[in-house]
């Protein structure tokens, strides 16, 4: 297996140059940001030094001394520690083990070690998810989208694709991101609901996302092992497991983690397929599993699946047309190549069979979506997602000039307060969104400084990386590119490109692997110590709050997500206390100043003891509501004032008093 570096003087020189260019860029940006903070306004001029060290963003300050430490350590030419004990030598040998060529036997011990390492990173991912979950306790979900995914999951558990809208007053139960046009169904694609269903049936939907985090860490190990060696897989897998953003999102009931599992299955098996092509024996089995992973990702988040899959699809299309898989640096022809005595095109029939194996799961996935569309919207070519946008949020449409286009298609059911939140996408706004998404993905994945350095190292040494690595880097760019025509930067600035996180961490681990080997061969014994110091500071800044220096990145994220969760929890407990044990309908008058928290949340069968309806001032006829729900107490909750008022008692309980 080709590694990301070459043992040659010219190779070491390139890696050294890449490191110092990355160091200059990162140090320059850090100094500039620290200078701006230093000279910025402050309430107490005597607290300048304390304020400078107390960086609430932890983006730059912790890394400044680490960056400066690189200079003296570079000139150290003698080992800083005693000769490594034998166990360390053995461990380093284990880290250097990689995926063997398909025609070479593998010692059983290597398989056992790889499984052990992958199990360690999976356990770390699960532990990270559970530890974040404990911070939230029993609080309900935070975002509109989460309630829609739960709605979808409950629909599937009921053995249905949708429920009928309420026969008398359907508009009363309009719910955010839930289609309510004769059929009552989540607007979202079905993958996340299918993933969550067995876990919700066992009692906790979040278990599914914690499991997905563990699986994602597990799969990243195997991708890193394939790309380079156990060391790269272990580092990348552990960083995915401990990433503050990935850990935080594993406690949001969104489609990202199920999508991530599908995409990583696709990537690892597609890379295995490419290896089989390079050895002249294209494996339809690997192609089929890759297609299955991509198909599941498509059922969760189609645009994300398309963005990540595009570079791989371009390569596959080129191979399908030409039959030339392209040899990676340093590999030798084996199998069919050796039989033909040359690197020639592979048989057309073999390519076609492989394409069928790859595409069959995708075709099945598309067929499933067509059936879902037909069942929910009545049109196999109209998705619930698109129908919801057309009816309720036309200004949120994908593409440039979205707001202007949406305002030509406003209908009577537009959620005006939420819809007008959309900004009109112009090239300028698109450029700002691209910048924000990159910065936020750096920040929440690992850190701005380490990933800026990773980017610079990769760019300077691009010709030293195999084509498999290029596909990883291209997937990041492609994922960002397909989301350029959307006006919103994303939840926490990055949720549209969340799935790029493991690819960034793979690149970081690959760059670290290349630099470590170059430092070792170039007799720079102080630099591995510097790399370990950088990684330690990264983990501290992300996971450990050190007062008064910085709050941990994960603590900042937990606090941000906890705010809406606490609001939902407070409202639900207040309603439960006031309403008591009687069947009730609570009409909710939304606070126009808060478009991102909506309390109209119901089960798809509208069979809960307490239902929540949407009260529209000047439109909702409360007398008609009381007539339509004679078996329920009817209440009015005004969110802006916090008042909950009884409008009517159930007619079936005449002896009860308010």
CB 421 within 8 A of CB 595: yes
Integer Cα distance of 544 and 556 in angstroms:
11
Residues 16-22 have a mean pLDDT of 97
| Residue whose token pair is 């299918």 | 194
Q: Mind listing the pLDDT tens digit for each residue in 235-254?
A: 999 999 999 999 999 999 99
Residues 213-223 pLDDT 10s: 999 999 999 99
Identify the pLDDT of residue 34.
82
- DSSP assigned state of 100: P
- Residue tagged 């009730």 (tokens): 584
Residue 316 has a pLDDT of 96
> Residue 43 pLDDT > 90, yes or no?
no
What pLDDT does residue 329 have?
39
* Structure confidence at residue 653 as a pLDDT band (50, 70, 90): low
Which one has a higher pLDDT value, 633 or 87? Answer: 633
The DSSP H or E segment spanning 170 is: none
Residue 11 is predicted with a pLDDT of 77
Per-residue confidence band for 345, with pLDDT thresholds at 50, 70 and 90? confident
Tell me: the pLDDT tens digits for 55-95?
566 899 899 999 999 999 999 887 766 666 778 788 888 88
Closest to 40 measured CA to CA, from 24, 62, 56, 25: 56
pLDDT at 334: 35
CB atoms within 10 A of CB 449: 26
- Work out whether strand 633-638 and strand 584-589 pair parallel, antiparallel, or are unpaired: parallel
pLDDT grade, residue 35 (50/70/90)?
A: confident
* DSSP secondary structure string for all residues of 46-73: GGHHHHHH--TT-SSTTHHHHHHHHHHH
Tell me the β-bridge partners of 386.
Answer: none
Poorest-pLDDT segment among 46-55, 491-500, 554-563, 632-641: 46-55
- Three-state SS across 497-557? HHHHHHHHHHHHHHHHHHHHHHHHHCCCCHHHHHHHHHHHHHHHHHHCCECCCECCHHHHH
Pairing status of strand 584-589 against strand 610-614: parallel
The string of DSSP letters for 221-240 reads: HHHHHHHT-HHHHHHHHHHH
Residue written as tokens 């080709």?
A: 2
Which residues, 6 or more positions from 630, have their beta carbon under 8 angstroms from its beta carbon? Answer: 650, 651, 652
Could you give the CA distance from residue 291 to residue 30 in angstroms, rounded to a whole number? Answer: 43
What was the pLDDT predicted at 40? Answer: 61
pLDDT attached to residue 650: 87
3-state secondary structure of 256: helix
Segment 51-57 shows an average pLDDT of 56
Instruction: Write out pLDDT tens, residues 557-614.
Output: 999 999 999 999 999 999 999 999 999 999 999 999 888 899 999 999 999 999 999 9
**Residue 510 near residue 469, CB atoms below 8 Å:** yes
pLDDT band at 335 (very low <50, low <70, confident <90, very high): very low
pLDDT at 99: 79
**Cα angle value 333/339/344 (rounded, 5°):** 60
pLDDT 10s digits, 386-432: 999 999 999 999 999 999 999 999 999 999 999 999 999 999 999 99
Sequence spans of domains, the chain: 9-80+441-543, 559-648
Percent of the chain past pLDDT 70, that is, above it, reads: 90
Q: Which of 142, 337, 336 is nearest to 254 (CA)?
A: 142
Closest CA to 5 of 409, 515, 352, 495: 515
């Amino acid at each position: 297996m080709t590694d990301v570096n070459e043992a040659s003087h010219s190779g070491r020189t390139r890696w050294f140059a890449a490191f110092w260019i990355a160091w200059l860029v990162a140090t320059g940006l850090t100094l500039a940001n620290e200078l701006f903070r230093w000279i910025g306004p402050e309430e107490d001029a005597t607290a300048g030094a304390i304020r400078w060290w107390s960086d609430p963003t932890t983006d730059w300050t912790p890394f400044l001394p680490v960056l400066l430490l690189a200079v003296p350590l570079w000139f150290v030419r003698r080992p800083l520690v005693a000769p490594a004990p034998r166990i360390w030598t053995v461990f380093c040998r284990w880290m250097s083990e990689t995926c063997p060529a398909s025609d070479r036997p593998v010692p059983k011990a290597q398989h056992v070690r790889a499984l052990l390492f992958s199990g360690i990173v999976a356990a770390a991912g699960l532990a990270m998810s559970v530890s974040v979950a404990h911070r939230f306790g029993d609080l309900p979900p935070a975002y509109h989208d989460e309630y829609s995914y739960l709605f979808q999951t409950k629909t599937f558990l009921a053995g249905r694709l949708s429920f009928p809208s309420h026969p008398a007053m359907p508009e009363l139960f309009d719910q955010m991101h839930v289609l309510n046009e004769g059929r009552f169904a989540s607007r979202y694609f079905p993958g996340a609901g299918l993933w969550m269903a067995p876990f919700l049936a066992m009692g906790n939907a979040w278990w599914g996302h914690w499991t997905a985090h563990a699986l994602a860490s597990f799969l990243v190990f195997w991708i890193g092992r394939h790309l380079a060696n156990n060391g790269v897989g272990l580092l990348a897998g552990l960083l995915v497991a401990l990433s503050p953003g990935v850990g935080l999102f594993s406690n949001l009931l969104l489609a990202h983690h199920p999508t991530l599992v599908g995409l990583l299955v696709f990537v690892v098996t597609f890379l295995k397929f490419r290896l089989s092509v390079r050895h002249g024996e294209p494996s339809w089995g690997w192609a089929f599993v890759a297609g299955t992973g991509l198909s599941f990702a498509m059922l969760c988040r189609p645009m994300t699946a398309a963005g990540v899959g595009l570079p791989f699809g371009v390569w596959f299309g080129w191979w399908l047309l030409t039959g030339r898989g392209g040899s990676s640096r340093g590999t030798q022809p084996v199998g069919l190549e050796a039989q033909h005595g040359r690197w020639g095109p592979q048989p057309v029939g073999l390519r076609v069979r492989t394409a069928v194996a790859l595409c069959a799961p995708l075709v099945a996935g598309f067929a499933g979506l067509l059936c879902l569309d037909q069942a929910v919207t009545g049109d196999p070519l109209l998705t619930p997602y698109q129908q919801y946008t057309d009816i309720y949020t036309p200004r949120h449409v994908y593409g440039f000039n979205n707001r202007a286009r949406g305002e030509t298609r406003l209908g009577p059911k537009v959620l005006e307060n939420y819809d007008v939140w959309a900004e009109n996408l112009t090239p300028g706004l698109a450029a700002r969104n691209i910048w924000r998404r990159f910065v936020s993905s750096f920040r929440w994945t690992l850190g701005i400084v380490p990933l800026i350095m990773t980017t610079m190292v990769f760019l300077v040494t691009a010709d030293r990386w195999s084509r498999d690595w290029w596909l990883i880097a291209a997937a990041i760019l492609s994922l960002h590119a397909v989301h350029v025509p959307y006006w919103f930067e994303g939840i926490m600035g990055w949720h549209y490109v969340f799935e790029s996180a493991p690819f960034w961490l793979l690149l970081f681990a690959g760059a670290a692997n290349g630099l470590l080997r170059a430092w070792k061969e170039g007799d720079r014994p102080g630099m591995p110590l510097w790399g370990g110091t950088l990684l330690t500071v990264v983990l501290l800044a992300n996971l450990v709050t050190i007062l008064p220096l910085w709050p941990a990145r994960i603590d900042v994220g937990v606090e941000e997500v906890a705010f809406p969760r606490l609001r939902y929890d407070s409202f639900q407990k207040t309603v439960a206390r006031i309403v008591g044990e009687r069947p009730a309908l609570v009409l909710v008058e939304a606070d126009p100043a808060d478009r991102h928290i909506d309390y109209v949340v119901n089960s798809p069968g509208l069979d809960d003891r307490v239902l929540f309806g949407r009260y529209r001032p000047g439109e909702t006829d409360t007398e008609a509501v009381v007539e339509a729900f004679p078996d329920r107490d009817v209440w009015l909750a005004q969110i802006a004032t916090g008042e909950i008022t009884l409008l009517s008692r159930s007619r079936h309980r005449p002896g009860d008093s308010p």
